[in-house]
Amino acid sequence: MGKPMIALPADTYTEATSIINLRNAAFAPDPAIKAITKSGGLPIVLPTVAAENAASYVDLFDGLLLLGGFDVDPTFYGQEPHFELGETFRKRDLFEIALLKATIEAGKPIMGICRGLQLINAGLGGTLYQDLSEDPTARLKHHQLAPGNLPTHHVNVHEGSQLQKLVGDRIYINSRHHQSIHEVVAPGLKVVARADDGVIEAVESIDSNQILAVQWHPENMFKHTPESQVIFKDLIDRASQQI
């Protein structure tokens, strides 16, 4: 049996690069690639294309990993942009939402990281805080200034969840986000972890183990913490069932 293929939809570098003044270059973060390969998978980086072509990719991979990056365009969850909204890239949103839905339809496993969690929730009918300053309960520093591979706050994992089986009841995580899930969690998803201030830190599928998404960045800590590595290993194990 071969290794499971894991799709990583690419981020986009919008500034000019040093290579022939290239703009809108597609890339995937090296830590995510290494986390996938160390866990036994083979990554495939998917450049952003027109949303109507997204489903054509699905036969190429066994699992989908939605990564960090731009803020999700708030019009996808029925809002106009607020003052603290960060940079958005609607073409990527359209492509990843279409890819997400096609992957769900195909019954293949999905993992989300940071923006990936937010994209999953918004793409499936949930809402987001455009900035945590709008959340009256948020009091922890969720966009750390410490090095990204170091943990800075704790997360409480809900009893009986798939995530609890992987990482336990309480874990120490890194944090690099200014958006989060708002009051509407998408149909088919449930909250399975929160920070001490109540900010949602993870969701998973209600009736299956198809989707697991976390708000932190385990790809930056997988070399140092077993809790981070096991999340990637779980994706690979789920994807292996597709081979």
Largest CA distance in the chain: 53
Catalytic residue (choose from 96, 201, 204, 219):
219
Catalytic residue (choose from 96, 177, 217, 227):
217
Q: What is the DSSP string of 179-226?
A: -EE-S-PPTTEEEEEEETT--EEEEEESSSSSEEEESS-GGGTTTT-H
> Is residue 134 among the annotated active site residues?
no
- For residue 141, give the nearest of 128, 157, 155, 152 by alpha carbon: 152
Residues 38 and 46: their CA atoms lie apart, in Å, by 20
Burial class (CB in 10 A: 0-12, 13-18, 19+), 158: middle
> Is residue 219 among the annotated active site residues?
yes
> Is residue 182 among the annotated active site residues?
no
Catalytic residue (choose from 96, 114, 142, 153):
114
Active site residues: 114, 217, 219
